[in-house]
Amino acid sequence: MSGLNKVMLIGHLGKPPALRWLESGQAMCKLSLATSERYRDSAGVQRERTEWHQIVLWREWAELADRYLDTGHKVYIEGRLRTRTWQDGDGVEHRSTEIIGDRLEMLTPRRTSEGDASEDADAMRPSEDNQSGPHPMDASALPF
């Protein structure tokens, strides 16, 4: 049986997306995503802990993130963990764990030129053949 490597996060972007074009012509975008949890410590004081995640998006997802996302935007990211190891110029070994994003949903409403929230969620889908997840439902057929 094979393993499962799945990550699902909802958080806010800590800085603007960083889009790069590789020599192969492929788009790659890095995001810094903050997730926070609230809890009470042993003294009953409410605390908040923030975890930062490095997200890597490729191809159409990278271009869409660069076009529509900005600092503070709330997003849903679905992907998988990947750990990289490399040596710097001084021979020191470094490790980095990233999330390779397979799916991106913008949770902060887009603004139109008039300042209204846009309902156009289709702009955040890279292609028709890569749609997955919840779809709009016609509630008129429900018996209640």
Residue with the two structure tokens 């490729």: 58
CATH number of the domain at 23, please.
2.40.50.140
Asked, for residue 17, whether it belongs to a domain, the answer is yes
CB 73 within 8 A of CB 29: no
Asked, for residue 118, whether it belongs to a domain, the answer is yes
Q: pTM to 2 decimals? A: 0.72
Asked, for residue 137, whether it belongs to a domain, the answer is no
pLDDT recorded at residue 68: 94
Asked, for residue 140, whether it belongs to a domain, the answer is no
- Give pLDDT tens digits for 2-49: 899 999 999 999 999 999 999 999 999 999 999 999 999 999 999 999
Cα-Cα-Cα-Cα torsion 100, 104, 109, 112, nearest 10 degrees, comes to: 100
pLDDT recorded at residue 112: 54
Asked, for residue 56, whether it belongs to a domain, the answer is yes
- Confidence band (pLDDT; 50, 70, 90) for 136? very low
Asked, for residue 71, whether it belongs to a domain, the answer is yes
